[in-house]
Amino acid sequence: MRIICYRQKSHPGAAGRVGALLEDGVNVLDFGRAIDYGETAVPVLSWMDLDGEYLPKALSMLRKLGPHAAEELKRRSPAALVPLADVDLLAPVPRPGKVICIGLNYRDHAAESNVPVPKSPVTFSKYVTAVTGPDAPVSLPPSSQQVDYEAEMAVVIGRRAKRVGRDQALDHVLGYTNFNDVSARDFQFSDGQWQRGKSCDTFAPIGPAIVTADEIRDPHALRIQLRLNGETMQDSTTQQLVFGVDVLVSFISQTVTLEPGDIIATGTPPGVGFARKPPVWLKPGDVMEVEVEGLGVLRNPVVAGANEE
């Protein structure tokens, strides 16, 4: 299943709604309308909870509908069927409780950066106000001249995890999505820590959908790419991950309680802009595309940020 958060174009000021992209490729199933919550504003994070009231009903209903879901919905619940052309996709988790990132987690990226492979996961965070969605512009801060891209596979937590073991860790994963860890390198390297350079507004594009874990046979065997203006800049595989998804979920949960809708961005492969000779920095008019095998394409244009009073 591909879980999305969306807003109908005819209601641009409305709150985001949660649903699934149907296999026909042209329709969206609205979860709330399909299971008789109508226009009730169920909180987005409630739809991310595998043990909660809402998501299990939605998953069960979609499985029962099967491959001909669109035809069944037209007959049984037409209000729950929304044409994909009529919606704007938002970040699949527009306001996660936590965005936890992992640094230097690809062997080939550590080699590119001339640093040893970490002995344990290197974690940092992004403020949730950095989150943005597919096709949304990434805004360059006027005070930064060295903004960089980083293609990543992100894990979306679907079950509360506190001190879980590796053997149980994947049971707490709802699914996977594309992530772009946009970074202001001049802020990052001059500040002595990474928080500001990683957390500028719009610096965490996510999407376009959460592909549920049952559809990803092995998250550690996926091609990962970033294209800048159509040119491939990063091209690797999640086989290069130093610490896999099970290790990361278990490691983080030993000291930080993970909750449904939390995001773990698992690190970036080589080819980032700052490591190139000469360096490549993002500029207005650029278009970034992150593609992790099986997760679709996350596309974001780059724009100049305005000086605001």
Backbone conformation region of residue 152, classed left if phi is above 0, alpha if psi is from -120 to 50, else beta: beta
Structure confidence by residue, pLDDT tens digits, 229-242: 999 999 999 999 99
Is pLDDT larger for residue 119 or for residue 41?
119
Average pLDDT over residues 98-114: 87
pTM metric for this prediction: 0.95
What is the pLDDT of the chain when averaged over all its residues? Answer: 93
Among 9, 31, 27, which Cα is nearest to 18's?
31
Q: How many CA atoms lie within 13 A of 256 on its CB side?
A: 17
pLDDT at 167: 97
For residue 293, give the DSSP letter: T
Measure the CA–CA gap between 15 and 8, rounded to whole angstroms: 10
Tokens representing 14?
């409305």
pLDDT of residue 309: 41
Give the least confident one: 6-15, 83-92, 120-129, 179-188: 6-15
Q: Can you list the domains of the chain with their CATH numbers?
A: 2-90 (no CATH), 99-304 (3.90.850.10)
3-state secondary structure of 179: strand
List pLDDT tens digits, range 16-32: 999 999 988 899 999 99
Give the tens place of pLDDT for each residue, 223-273: 999 999 999 999 999 999 999 999 999 999 999 999 999 999 999 999 999
| Interacting residues of 120 by C-beta distance below 8 A, sequence separation 6+ | 243, 251
Neighbouring-strand partners of residue 36: none
In this predicted structure, the answer to whether residue 55 has a pLDDT above a threshold of 60 is yes
- The H-assigned helical ranges of the chain are 31-34, 55-65, 69-76, 107-112, 166-169, 185-191, 195-198, 245-253
Over range 31-53, report the average pLDDT: 86
**Among 19-33, 68-82, 214-228, which is the least confidently predicted range?**
68-82
Residue 111 has pLDDT above 80, yes or no: no
Instruction: Decide if 253 contacts 163 (C-beta within 8 A).
Output: yes
What's the one-letter identity of residue 281?
W
Residues pairing with 17 in the sheet: 6
- Return the pLDDT at 63: 83
- Least confident piece of the model among 65-69, 153-157, 288-292: 65-69
Confidence at 40, pLDDT banded by 50, 70, 90: low
